[in-house]
Amino acid sequence: MVLEELVAEVLEVDTSALDDTTSPASLDRWDSLAHVVLITTVEEAYDVILTTAEMRQAKSLGELRRILQSKGAEV
């Protein structure tokens, strides 16, 4: 699954509303609970485990993409 599709599904938004700058500050649906669900879903979908620091750093779609790429995931 493409990262944007996964994020859109978790946050219940259209993929057209997402870009690498999308963050909790720009999207009301991305609250703390949604962040936990998003991280868990991403870990399962890409078969990776994010550290606590990485979970905190993943405050935008672009940053989440960068973290996944650093772990060898194709996003």
Token pair 């973290």 is at which residue?
A: 67
Quote the pTM value. Answer: 0.92
Q: Spell out the domain ranges in the chain.
A: 3-70
Distance CA 1, CA 61 (A): 15
Q: What is the pLDDT of residues 40-73, one digit of tens each?
A: 999 999 999 999 999 999 999 999 999 999 999 9
Domain 3-70, CATH among 1.10.3720.10, 1.20.120.640, 1.10.1200.10, 1.25.40.10: 1.10.1200.10
Residue 1 predicted with pLDDT over 90: no
- pLDDT band at residue 24 under the 50/70/90 scheme: very high
- pLDDT above 70 covers a percentage of the chain that reads 99
- pLDDT band at residue 10 under the 50/70/90 scheme: very high
Radius of gyration of the CA atoms of the chain, in A: 11
